[in-house]
Amino acid sequence: MPELPEVQAVVSALAPVLAGHTIAQVAQRRQDVASQHVITRSLKGKGLSLSPLLEGRKITAITRRAKRIVFSLDDGSAFYVHLGMTGRLTLDPQDELPHTHLTLHLSPPRGKTGAPGTGHRALHFSDPRRFGKVVHLPTGQHEDSLGPEPLDLPAATLHALLQATDRPVKPALLDQSLIVGLGNIYVDESLHAAQIHPQRKTTSLTLPEATKLNAEIQRILKTAIAHKGSTLRDYRDAEGNPGAFQHLHVVYDREGQPCKTCGTPIQRIVQSGRSTHFCPTCQPRKRPR
């Protein structure tokens, strides 16, 4: 569930509440929910015990990078949470969700105790399918092979990135090493808005087409952020609230339903093992002249 807008909604909810809190206690139910960030792929692993790394550390910032929720700590280290498909971070839930693999017990900053809403907090990470993960980043170790963020990407850069590879544009935009943050929903919506057929080769896209695509990606992501993301089934923000952008989907998960732009039934095809939804009228293989 979590593409850039959903992850951003979680970060926006958590950051103002939890920045400055100290991790008092870590309750880790599953050892394999966490791992150490490693450049080499040989020693990845059987899990990592988080409590000795996190307990006593103060959270200095909570930010988003790609689809990762990054917790920066006062000793220069950091960790990130990736929600996978069904992961959720929930703050002070009424009832603990099933498949809660990790809970962070947090103490408020000194001097803030007593003010309303600033007591101890509990941040729960739950994830039924367990595609999500927590990754510890030792001081200095950060980025790996992530592409640029889409929201402030110059159109010429996107065009250059697309020209540098040669494959259908749909799977290219899903590739996090090319550009980050987009998933199946927002790629389909962006390609529709830019009137580009998902099977068009990246090398065939002209600069004007890439410029339009770049603008539509940014417009759709920003609109989705304003609507706190899309909830198809599982996604909830840190307060347990669903997003609202799914009501504005034009193509995604609308196979056979009329295109909201032209009325043509939306088609579904499979590319790289993923569903692609598009409008054959709005997104012709060849550009109309």
Partner DNA sequence: GTCCATGTTCTTTA
Partner DNA sequence: CTAAAGAACATGGA
Write out the catalytic residue numbers. Answer: 2-3, 67, 274
Q: Rule CB under 7 A: which of 101-160 touch DNA?
A: 128-131
Exactly one of 166, 226, 262, 285 binds DNA (CB under 7 A); that residue is: 166
# residues near DNA by CB under 7 A: 40
Q: What is the amino acid identity at position 206?
A: T
Q: Select 115 or 270, whichever has its Cβ closest to DNA.
A: 270
Q: Select 44 or 219, whichever has its Cβ closest to DNA.
A: 44
First and final C-alpha spacing in the chain: 38
> Is 271 a residue that touches DNA (CB under 7 A)?
yes
Q: Identify how many contiguous H helices and E strands the chain contains and give both numbers.
A: 6, 11
For residues 179 and 158, give the distance between their C-alpha atoms in angstroms, rounded to a whole number: 8
Return the closest-CA partner of residue 141 out of 35, 33, 39. Answer: 39
Minimum CB distance to DNA, residue 221 (Å): 12
Q: How many CB atoms lie within 10 A of CB 231?
A: 19
Q: Where are the alpha helices (DSSP H) in the chain?
A: 4-18, 51-54, 155-163, 169-174, 184-193, 207-226
Stretch that binds DNA, among 8-16, 105-113, 162-170, 213-221 (CB under 7 A): 162-170
For residues 169 and 165, give the distance between their C-alpha atoms in angstroms, rounded to a whole number: 10
> Is 272 a residue that touches DNA (CB under 7 A)?
yes
Instruction: Please report, as ranges, the residues that interact with DNA according to CB under 7 A.
Output: 1-3, 6, 41, 44, 66-67, 82, 84-85, 98-99, 128-131, 165-168, 171-172, 174, 176, 183-185, 229-235, 271-275
